[in-house]
Amino acid sequence: MQHTGRIHHAFLLRGISGNGKHAFAMRWANALICEDTRTAMRPCGICRGCILFGAGTHPDVEIVESPPGKRNIGIDQIREVIEHIWLSRQFASWKPVVVPGAECMTISAANTLLKTLEEPPGKAVFILITDRSDRLPITVRSRCRFLDFPIPPKELVLPWLAEQLPPSADTGLLLAASGGAPLLALRYGKGDTLQQRTALHKELTMLLTGKANPMIIAARWKTLGCAVVLPWILSYVIDLIRLRFREELQPTLHSDDAAALRRLAGKLDSSFGYRLLDRCLETRRVWEDSTSLNELLLLEGLAIDFTIYDS
Ligand SMILES: [Zn+2]
């Protein structure tokens, strides 16, 4: 497509985390700067462009991410990229700009990018990636062509996952825990993430049954960070509510915990369940909107909410 010159200039890759958007975007960016015109949308892997891309030093490729230790993509980063696109000497036919975590752009960064998305310099191609497109300003979204990455069917993913992991791995559980995202499931299978997640779910059950101190639990959560624990806590609460109404549903937990959760759900006051859900969503919103909040305080508040249950 790129060699015929017919291409849209701004794309938004949407879908849940860990389902291949990033890998796709990088391969696409590589294909855009590949100098071998015979391979169409496949990078040849051996030309000068591909070699520089592989080394992360291609002068026409921009990857815009939040800096280490920060959660936002700031206006200065966007300005720098735009300046570079306009001023730099062109080496390849296209200048791909990949923005993983596009929802992390601050409002001013997004507004600055907007002007360039409206009138992009001739050969720039913006590839924005997000698993939370609802957090991107509508003005940015409306200037992009969407490419949606749906959750692939389990029947396709499970055999692939089994090939990648040792035979002892519980691929069904890994996939359920990752919300169906294959690459996230693989990451879970290779580290101790699943154990951490199981431990957190046990802690939530203990909090709900008054068997744990919320301050101690919150301090442990803090070591994992809000980015990790908030989605897990949310999925636990959703499982709890689902089990309350549809007992036969398979929760996304380890089977030992599933039994405990099922018992708990049976006694759950549904209005309490919904209150917890609201609190989880509210906590996530506060965390996403703030750059300098006290994570421990936020997590303590949430842990305490789980103890206010007297069934
Ligand atoms: Zn090439």
Q: Which of 213, 240, 219, 200 is nearest to 307 (CA)?
A: 213
Q: Ligand 1: distance of its center to the CA of 125 in Å?
A: 18
Q: What is the pLDDT of residue 286?
A: 92
Length of the chain: 311
Q: What is the mean pLDDT of each run of 10 residues along the chain (311 residues)?
A: 59 92 95 84 90 92 90 93 81 88 94 88 90 92 93 93 92 86 90 87 91 95 92 90 76 68 85 93 90 90 86 47
Q: Which of 238, 224, 209 is nearest to 299 (CA)?
A: 224
Q: Ligand 1: distance of its center to the CA of 62 in Å?
A: 17
- 167: DSSP letter: T
Q: Ligand 1: distance of its center to the CA of 3 in Å?
A: 13
Q: What is the pLDDT of residue 218?
A: 97
**CA-to-CA dists, residue 91 to 23, 52, 61, 95, 96, angstroms:** 23, 11, 10, 9, 12
Integer Cα distance of 28 and 22 in angstroms: 10
What residues have their beta carbon closer than 5 A to ion ligand 1? 34, 36, 43-44, 47, 50
- 179: DSSP letter: T
The token duo for 249 is: 């549903």
Q: What is the pLDDT of residue 194?
A: 84
Q: Ligand 1: distance of its center to the CA of 50 in Å?
A: 4
Q: What is the pLDDT of residue 4?
A: 44
Q: Ligand 1: distance of its center to the CA of 100 in Å?
A: 23
Lateral strand order in the sheet of 62-63: 62-63, 95-99, 124-130, 10-14, 145-148
| Burial class of residue 247 (count of CB atoms within 10 Å of its CB; 0-12, 13-18, 19+) | exposed
Integer Cα distance of 174 and 193 in angstroms: 10
Quick one: CA dihedral 111, 67, 100, 194, positive or negative? negative
Q: Ligand 1: distance of its center to the CA of 39 in Å?
A: 8
Q: Ligand 1: distance of its center to the CA of 160 in Å?
A: 28
Integer Cα distance of 125 and 122 in angstroms: 9
Q: What is the pLDDT of residue 270?
A: 85
Q: What is the pLDDT of residue 3?
A: 46
